Structure 1
Amino acid sequence: MSRVSRHVKAAPHEGDVRFTFGVHPGANVTDHGLAPYYAMDNLIKEWGDRWETEGKPTEEIQLLGETWATCFDYSKSGLDPWDNPDFQLEQVREFQFYFVSKDSPTYEGKRADRDKRVKGGTITVRPRWPDLRSDGKPVSVPDYGAPYIDVQVQASNIPHEEYLTLVKRVMSAYGIASRYFDHPHPDSHIDDLAYYVRLYRDESGSLHAPDGPIARAHTLIQGDRSGYRKHVEDHTKIPGYYVTATVEDEKAGELIRGHELGKELKHYYPNEPQQYEPDQAPYHPKFEVAYQTSRTEQTVRWDDLDDAHRELEETILNALEWAGLAVTADSHAFVEFDPFWDVENTHEARKIVQCPLPKIESEQEHRVMQLWGDMTEADRDVTELLLTDGGKVSPKEAAEQTGNTYRTIREVTSRMEGLIRHTYGELELESKKIQQELLKRIRAAGDRFEQEIGSAAMDLADAAEERARDAWSRLRREYAISTVDRNDCRKLLKVGYQPADRDEAQSILREIKTAYQQHVEQFIAGVHVVMTLADGERLRIRDMNRAFQKSVEGQQREARHNKKAREMFDFEEWKAAGCPPADEWDTG
């Protein structure tokens, strides 16, 4: 683990913060109760008939060196009036304050509530008091034994730490004393928080690749069935169009030690990326990490903002690092003309860790191999049951469906600890990776199950020794790869294994690229790879990053036009990209 004191500062994106004002446990803090709410209600009365003749009240504020247009509005809340002599209002309203930056390039010149507010948002104010009801039925909200107001700020592309200042500025503009908002209650909390970086289109492929950090995080650390599992890959409009993976809070520490928040890792483009040109920011993708309230058991308080910001930004930086991308602003990977992001370095300390995914993958593969060698028929029955679709399985259901006794199922569960997880009376496989490894072995074994188990047991000693070596060493042995240092400072990797076809060749090249970058060196532009297919066709490539990118783009383009898919590495396509003949697949 290391701490970097100079790295690119991620841009704030979405935010949703719920402030509580009016009550506070602090001894030296005045409780203003519903005073700010009554002041807002008076705005309606003071504006009077002008709602019809002049429209909604509007004001301008200054924030972050920019001018902001704001607008005041209200709506019915659906709450019953408070049964208290101090409450004189016959109708309970919610109040909305819209705001939008007039200096933003997306500002349309409309009233704040009508503008798209790409850089802006809404402040919604709701009254609260003890025994709150709607149509006579209790409403579930925090009860502090006194009245207060709930102030929700939902915004985009504004630094989250400025939300409280924003509330004060807007309220002051409408004559509502800012002192009412000096002391948020400690229960004030965050419901949405997201940060992003925008990368040039030809730089981001390693993030959304099948062996990239987004896909592998889902495969290796999410359980087979328990909890929430979500991984989406949509490449229909462009490679990497929408690729996401969700990491639950209990798994966050497996990705980066010390992390606790459930979060979503997302690589995405706007809805219609083809509408933009290379000199426009939306032409290039965002890589975003967003806090997921529904995937996090603990509540993230407003006072926890700095820690939440650190964790989300660390996830961005580590994912970039694991994908072989630079994490400083002076690299040329980041788009410098994003209208909502200044690409600059910051000196806030952030933790960078060695990618844990290869180690997790190796451990899970070894665990499968180790227990596979000792599996019984009952173990196989339970494993095959868990490999089928259909949701979670209890030990009792497993006994009924496999024909084994309940006691046998419990013995299987105990014996296969590490492959099968038993929680809350339900069985599941430990991870998607383990599911894939077991499925591959069971399908390969077929009717030769007992013989395969015996062979696996005999191979365990060699496997344990092999596991101690790194993935690159294992890959070199598996595919008979020899390394040749050339006089021009480049390296040549000769692959002795002969793939059956180009599809298998591509898969092997992906493995070589991943292992080489993780265990030898990140820079692979000068590394040549040569292999021969089973039919004698000789293939050669130098820049693997560009090769995979061109391959995917070509396949997607052909798929969209319903034409026959082109072969993996096209000579004319490489020439058009300005690459010399040595860069292409060489069939000579």
Structure 2
Amino acid sequence: MKSTEPAWHEFALQLNYAGSLEAHFGAARIVDQSGGSRVTEFTASGERWTAKLYYQESGICDPGDVLPTGTAWEFDGVREHRIAIQRHGEEDPVGEQKLNAHIRPRWDGMRVEQSDGSRRKLDVPFREGVNVVLSGSNVDAQRYQPLLRGAATALGLNPGHFRDPHDSSTVRDGERYVRVHCDASGPIHARDGPIAQMGHLLENDRSGYRKVVQNDDNDHGENLPGYYHTVTLGPSRVREAFPEHTVPVEIKHYYAREALSRSKDDPLRHPKLGVSYQVSRWDGSVGVTPDELADLERELDRTLRAVLEDAGVTMTPGAGGGPFVEDAYFDADLTELEESEQPPKLNLTRIRNEQESIVIRQLMANGGLSEVEEEALGTLVTDGGKVSPADIAEEHSRHVGSVRRALRRIDDMVEREYGSVSLRSPHVAEMVHDAVQQFREASRSVTEAAGQALLSAERGLSDATSALMTWCAKHGVDVDNRGEAIEAIRLGEIDSDRRRPGDPLRGVRWELREGLKRWLESGRDREAFANATVRWREEDRGRRSLPASAILR
């Protein structure tokens, strides 16, 4: 398979260097000696770079003369330092190949001031050291730390302060991208394309990290199909599509704001397809060693290529004969991939079929939905916010234990987390919606048939008959054509807390007595009620049925 090598766009590291505050002290001395800032040049891998060291005010509280760790503090207040690192303008006319290192002192027991003026203690995973947030764009991720050390050396700061990051150091952001010709990118952002389909099949119905965006209008209100289309997948969704992958990602097709004003000869007229690491979407982390950075790059690239392959973009020529457009930082040439770089197949049809199979299997199990299951699914389909079992129970006047048991029985269709419950995906939600509608239509048909039989027999509704019809509607009662005898009574699920040792039919009997009371009050014969078949469901024994006479005696 031929593909192109994606390029790094944004990237950021959170680096902790433990053991000493010398990096902070050294930066302070250089800034003071240089009148507030120092600018220099250096060479890295044969390239020219510039570096500027400067300072900014800090929200770290003044520790006084001595830190809580016992180290002397010889400054009035606290300042933080930055090193701006940029490719020399003669070698990067665009000016977007750059990094910035934000250097902050850290010590055990330090306090910081909040925006509202309050103060809090900051957790520091070591006794003393510095924290460096190193962020940038259009630079290979493996070069960030070496470039920081090269800049430090050129500025007169010991590069040894920025070696051997502490284990608490992590990647905070990272995006790999390709630039696709605008004539070839349509299948990526199409309504049936991989971005939309992943959102439809792999996104939780209402989870906190759900993000599917399909915006075809730019900031000026002009229509540009595919202007900003994204889908965000948390770790479990990523593994569903790519079993070997772990990190949460955002897959994004997007144009520059000024794209429509550019000619097709300008790279900015053509969209990017990017895959970025989403650190806020999980509790895990990615470390900063070369091997860990390589693993992250591999997952991002494999995901990106899988999307391209699914959309058929690698086989679709653009205006210039190829699907990709070269820019200042992305090389559009196609190369043959090594076997280890081959992307996984994005088999969305398989995922769709699996979800449909799950729904069908659940709906067919034990003869269909119980009343509590139908109520729970109905709420999940129609409610747009966070829903808990207690919310469902309150809405339908059910015991919360009954709702939880019903949710366990339909476990494959729903996801439960932190006291909330949601449907597995929008595709599952659509299938469930159809099933619930069919269930309710069937219930209405039964109710209408029962009501019509009663109405024709009564020739006008008394209060007693109206009460009886309400009870019949609730329990899906089947009556004969004349409305004089009941053939079947469906009670749905009977809560286990309404059953007693030695009297397992207590809850069923209570419901029947209510119905019998209304039947008799409307002037009907007791025997016609007692001959009915009663059907209900119990959690531990499944569906059951008995003659009403056997339950009432």
Match of 1:217 in 2: 198
Q: CA RMSD in A?
A: 2.7
Out of 326, 343, 351, which is 1:360 matched to?
351
Write the letter of the residue equivalent to 1:274.
Answer: L
Q: Given the alignment of the two structures, is residue 376 of structure 1 paired with residue 370 of structure 2, yes or no?
A: yes
Shift of 1:407: 4.2
Distance in structure 1 (CA, Å) of the matches to 2:209 and 2:165: 33
Q: Given the alignment of the two structures, is residue 18 of structure 1 paired with residue 6 of structure 2, yes or no?
A: no
Write the letter of the residue equivalent to 2:105.
Answer: P
Match of 2:43 in 1: 62
Q: Given the alignment of the two structures, is residue 342 of structure 1 paired with residue 331 of structure 2, yes or no?
A: yes
Shift of 1:107: 4.2
Native 8 Å contact 2:180 2:325 kept in 1: no
The change in CA–CA distance for 1:199 and 1:390 in structure 2 (over 3 A counts) is closer
Distance in structure 1 (CA, Å) of the matches to 2:57 and 2:400: 57
Q: Percent identity?
A: 28
Write the letter of the residue equivalent to 2:174.
Answer: L
The change in CA–CA distance for 1:182 and 1:376 in structure 2 (over 3 A counts) is closer
Any idea what SS the aligned residue of 1:253 has?
helix
Native 8 Å contact 1:22 1:180 kept in 2: no
Match of 2:423 in 1: 429
Native 8 Å contact 1:7 1:328 kept in 2: no
Distance in structure 1 (CA, Å) of the matches to 2:267 and 2:329: 10
Distance in structure 1 (CA, Å) of the matches to 2:282 and 2:421: 23
- 1:105-144 aligned at under 5 Å gives the runs 107=93, 117-134=95-112, 137-144=119-126
Q: Which shifted more, 257-266 or 432-441?
A: 432-441
- 1:486-501 aligned at under 5 Å gives the runs none
Match of 1:314 in 2: 302
Q: TM-score, normalised by structure 2?
A: 0.71
Any idea what SS the aligned residue of 2:411 has?
coil
Any idea what SS the aligned residue of 1:271 has?
coil
Shift of 1:278: 0.4
Shift of 1:346: 7.3
- 1:245-264 aligned at under 5 Å gives the runs 245-264=231-250
Shift of 1:358: 0.8
Match of 1:416 in 2: 410
Native 8 Å contact 2:11 2:174 kept in 1: yes
The change in CA–CA distance for 1:437 and 1:85 in structure 2 (over 3 A counts) is closer
Distance in structure 2 (CA, Å) of the matches to 1:266 and 1:177: 40
Q: Given the alignment of the two structures, is residue 397 of structure 1 paired with residue 391 of structure 2, yes or no?
A: yes
Query: What is the CA deviation profile of residues 396-417 of structure 1, one whole-angstrom value per residue up to 9, with x for unaligned ones?
Result: 3212212334343234223322
Distance in structure 2 (CA, Å) of the matches to 1:181 and 1:427: 46
Out of 212, 228, 246, which is 2:209 matched to?
228
Structure of larger gyration radius? 2
Any idea what SS the aligned residue of 1:190 has?
strand
Shift of 1:379: 2.5
Native 8 Å contact 1:105 1:339 kept in 2: no
Alignment: residue pair count? 424
Any idea what SS the aligned residue of 1:326 has?
helix
Match of 1:272 in 2: 258
Shift of 1:449: 5.0
Distance in structure 1 (CA, Å) of the matches to 2:200 and 2:178: 24
Distance in structure 2 (CA, Å) of the matches to 1:412 and 1:333: 54
Shift of 1:443: 4.1
Write the letter of the residue equivalent to 1:337.
Answer: E
Any idea what SS the aligned residue of 2:183 has?
helix
Q: Given the alignment of the two structures, is residue 44 of structure 1 paired with residue 62 of structure 2, yes or no?
A: no
Native 8 Å contact 2:48 2:91 kept in 1: no
Shift of 1:378: 3.1
Distance in structure 1 (CA, Å) of the matches to 2:49 and 2:294: 26
Match of 1:541 in 2: none
- 1:145-294 aligned at under 5 Å gives the runs 145=127, 147-236=128-217, 237-294=223-280
Distance in structure 1 (CA, Å) of the matches to 2:22 and 2:417: 50
Match of 1:577 in 2: none
Write the letter of the residue equivalent to 1:389.
Answer: D
Shift of 1:445: 6.3
Distance in structure 2 (CA, Å) of the matches to 1:151 and 1:95: 10
Any idea what SS the aligned residue of 2:313 has?
coil
Native 8 Å contact 1:273 1:282 kept in 2: yes
Q: Which shifted more, 179-188 or 382-391?
A: 179-188
Write the letter of the residue equivalent to 2:327.
Answer: D
Native 8 Å contact 1:199 1:335 kept in 2: yes
Shift of 1:22: 4.2
Native 8 Å contact 2:314 2:323 kept in 1: no
The change in CA–CA distance for 1:216 and 1:166 in structure 2 (over 3 A counts) is same
